[in-house]
Amino acid sequence: MFIELQKYSNNDTKDSWSKWDSYRRTWGIVLKQTLERYNIALNKVLLIGPGNGNDIDIEYLESTFNEIILIDIDGEALERFLSKVTKKHKFSKKIIDISGINHLVKNLNIHNMEDDHLIKLIDQLQPSIKLDNLKTKYDLIIHCSYSTQLVSPFFTQKFIFKRQPAPSAIQKSITDLESRIHLLIFGQIHDLLHDNGLTIRFTDTFEMKYDLKNHSINPAGKRILEIMNNDWKNIDNILKPEHFKDLINQGYSISGSLLPAEVYKNNQFIHETTFILLWPFIDNKIEIRNYIVLASVMKKLVRNNK
């Protein structure tokens, strides 16, 4: 059930290549500016959770790097990604469960589970992630907007089905699990990066949803419009500390989008800069849905073993 939900999500957006063209070009600009600013080597790049690749500037990627490795839990999505490339000799793929919990929950039926039982289950989960099996060093590792899809959609599916928010106690358990997963991922990618390597974490952080039937906008979207003074030219206002902190305190960030502070406190990475992107995700007769994506550039800190 767990992997099936991941595959369903990828299959649902497999035909979004043309719809996401503007975002994909912006994604490429962010990558180009990062490479130019930090002057990193262009040999090997690892993409974590790229799925179908519809949100990724594949042309720029394959014209820039010598070797491109893709890892994802959904092999069919990776095949759709590879169908879009022209320099196939540069690419390779591996099927890896980035969440580290598929083997623990794959036979669970969340819909029939009582809330207390679900909380206990989530709290006891110990993810097992095996990125060290990649056995090589990378100049750059890119996180491809997978964080919000890691576990939250699976554990909240019965509430989504009922169009209800998940109870706060369940959401807290999910957040704690997401933190455990992220700490494992970043601990392992630290070891996979060259000493001068970078990682860029693209993640959809805020959702703006317009209900065209009821002519309404979700609370996060309404607040973001206020921050931008109803003008997308002011999108950078979201990153101003007072505005960003307010959005987080109001609970408007998407589950899984925020990294645990320990990633920095454990001296694994130093934050260099953050880009902000608009992702026009859906535009149909029912809704217009945009995501505010943050691309955080992080530099590996070399551990002193002396």
**What confidence score (pLDDT) does residue 306 get?**
42
Q: How many whole angstroms separate alpha carbon 239 and alpha carbon 249? A: 14
Q: How many whole angstroms separate alpha carbon 250 and alpha carbon 39? A: 38
Give the single-character DSSP code of 231.
-
The full length of the chain comes to 306
pLDDT (tens digit, 9 = 90+) per residue, 7-36? 989 999 999 999 999 999 999 999 999 999
Q: How many whole angstroms separate alpha carbon 84 and alpha carbon 58? A: 8
Our CA angle for 103, 105, 108, nearest 5°, is 135
Q: How many whole angstroms separate alpha carbon 267 and alpha carbon 274? A: 19
Q: How many other β-carbons are positioned within 10 Å of the β-carbon of residue 249? A: 9
Our CA angle for 296, 302, 303, nearest 5°, is 120
* CATH 3.40.50.150 assigned to 2-206+255-279+291-300: yes
**What confidence score (pLDDT) does residue 304 get?**
64
Q: 3-state class of 115 per DSSP?
A: helix
Structure tokens that stand for 49 in this block: 């959770």
Q: How many other β-carbons are positioned within 10 Å of the β-carbon of residue 18? A: 8
Radius of gyration of the chain (CA): 19
Strands (E), 145-256: 193-211, 216-217
pTM over 0.85: yes
Q: Going residue by residue through the chain, which has 306 residues, state the pLDDT in tens, using 9 for 90 and above.
A: 788 888 989 999 999 999 999 999 999 999 999 999 999 999 999 999 999 999 999 999 999 999 999 999 999 999 999 999 999 999 999 999 999 999 999 888 888 889 999 999 999 999 999 887 887 999 999 999 999 999 999 999 888 777 888 899 999 999 999 999 999 999 999 999 999 899 999 999 999 999 999 999 999 999 999 999 999 999 999 999 999 999 999 999 999 999 999 988 877 899 999 999 999 999 999 999 999 999 999 999 986 644
Q: How many whole angstroms separate alpha carbon 179 and alpha carbon 105? A: 18
Q: How many whole angstroms separate alpha carbon 121 and alpha carbon 123? A: 6
**Structural domain boundaries of the chain?**
2-206+255-279+291-300
Candidates 29, 93, 3; CA nearest to 295 is 29
Helices marked H in 13-70 — which ranges?
21-38, 58-64
Q: How many whole angstroms separate alpha carbon 181 and alpha carbon 178? A: 5
Structure tokens that stand for 9 in this block: 């999500």
Structure tokens that stand for 142 in this block: 């890119």
